[in-house]
Amino acid sequence: MLLNCGQPLPLLRHTDVPPRVIENFILTGYRFPNYSLRDCLLSAFRPTNETGNFWTHFLPVFIFSYYFVEVFGWEGAPHSDAPFFYPLWNYFIGVFCLLMASSMAHLLNSMSLVVREVCFFVDYGTISSYTVGSSLAYYYYIHPRAGIVETGGRNGSHVDLKDEPAGSLTSPYAIPDFCVFFETFYIPSACVVAIICVLSCCNSRQRWRRHRYVIRTFVFLLPFLVSSTPVFYRLLTRSPYSTTSSSFAASASTASYFYRHCLWLLVSAVFNISKFPERLAPGRFDIWGHSHQWFHCCTFLSILDELHMIKTEVRAILLSPTLLLPPATLSRLPGPTIASTYGVMFLLQTTIVSIIVWFSWHANCIYGPERDQLVKENPKKQMKCH
């Protein structure tokens, strides 16, 4: 916090701040929870125990954006505002909001105890929105039938089906009844699971606090499993593209990107639960190198590999000579619309905002009196410089 003379107040030890603010095994570098907005913003350039948490998700916004816009410069790609790119833009919105909400939550949470709760409620909400944004991209770009055009009820693409068993053309799905789930319940399931995750994570800030990190980590495992079903299907079955086509070659790296995406998620979960390395040396990693900073780095690397995976599939679709854009010729895979992409995200965001408002009101009832008491006991000192 800055005094009137421009000098920052000293950072505090864990014994000098409210218990609600204390993080496991982090002993120093705390800001007292009565900073102004200006003080919070300036603290991004001070070595506090939140500085690294801010920068490890703020800088990735620009890295992600750089790799994201490459798609629109590809040969054969439609204009950036074409319906074909609606799912990709929803994915971008989900990632952008996740990274910005996370970085701002770590930067602004010292304004008060109530603001701290609201910041992390918003953080959890954007994580859930990101998972649905990913699901929309998976649905339209990693769909099991992507690139396959139906003609007269039979597969009319150039996929090599000579060696397929008799009767295999009656259904494009190698796993029976998968089409029912994927084409009817996949997106609704992703939305329902996302809402459950928001409710559970917000609740973990008011209950089950002893095991909150474990709960949050495993709660977000569920949307990963649901949203990744198209990728699991693609890995377990044959590619929809001919082995001699450029689309097949373009999508060949999908598996490696997905495995790396999973690896980084696993490593991030280990850091989030174990609290390594600060658990081994409390106080040594208070400012730089503690587990939450590594958690941020690993989650971003997983997102970056996911982006490369989605771009790989987008390129494969663009290279498919049987696919017209927008893909209205796919009888079982209609092209993206505003309602099926932005509309889904809008309804989800409205629901999530309602949940955040409810939990924020409850947090104000709990921590409002404590916030007011802290303001009385620790008024901001006004000093004059001579």
Cβ atoms of 126 and 102 within 8 Å: the answer is: yes
**Tell me, what's the pLDDT at 327?**
44
**Tell me, what's the pLDDT at 328?**
45
Question: What is the Cα–Cα distance from 160 to 243, expressed in whole angstroms?
Answer: 8
Which sign, positive or negative, has the C-alpha torsion 288, 294, 299, 305? positive
Question: What is the Cα–Cα distance from 310 to 313, expressed in whole angstroms?
Answer: 5
Question: What is the Cα–Cα distance from 319 to 247, expressed in whole angstroms?
Answer: 5
Phi and psi at residue 151, to the nearest 5°: -135, 110
Cβ atoms of 269 and 176 within 8 Å: the answer is: no
* Chain centre to alpha carbon of residue 222: 13
Break the chain into its structural domains and give their ranges. 12-145+177-238+341-383
Max Cα distance, the chain (Å): 92
Residues 154-171, mean pLDDT to the nearest whole number: 36
Question: What is the Cα–Cα distance from 72 to 85, expressed in whole angstroms?
Answer: 9
Helices (H), the chain: 37-42, 51-68, 86-108, 113-141, 178-180, 186-203, 212-219, 221-227, 229-236, 246-250, 254-274, 291-319, 344-377
Question: What is the Cα–Cα distance from 185 to 49, expressed in whole angstroms?
Answer: 43
Judged by average pLDDT, the poorest of 124-133, 202-211, 312-321, 338-347 is 202-211
* Chain centre to alpha carbon of residue 33: 27
And the tokens for 81?
């505002």
Instruction: Using pLDDT thresholds of 50, 70 and 90, give the confidence band for residue 175.
Output: low
Question: What is the Cα–Cα distance from 68 to 71, expressed in whole angstroms?
Answer: 6
DSSP 264: H
Residue 6: how many CA atoms within 13 Å on its side-chain side?
2
- Across the chain, mean pLDDT equals 84
* Chain centre to alpha carbon of residue 22: 25
Question: What is the Cα–Cα distance from 201 to 209, expressed in whole angstroms?
Answer: 10
Q: Which residues are annotated as a binding site for Zn(2+)?
A: 106, 292, 296
H or E, element range at 180: helix 178-180
Is residue 190 predicted with pLDDT exceeding 90?
yes
pLDDT tens digits along 103-114: 999 999 999 999
Judged by average pLDDT, the poorest of 43-57, 108-122, 126-140, 225-239 is 225-239
**Tell me, what's the pLDDT at 102?**
97
- Identify which of 268, 261, 259, 262 has the alpha carbon closest to the alpha carbon of residue 217: 268
Give the type of residue at 254.
T
- Residue with structure tokens 């600060």? 278
Rounded to the nearest 10°, the torsion over CA 104, 106, 107, 109 is 100
Q: Which residues are annotated as a binding site?
A: 106, 292, 296
pLDDT tens digits along 224-280: 999 999 999 888 887 777 788 888 898 999 999 999 999 999 999 999 999 999 999
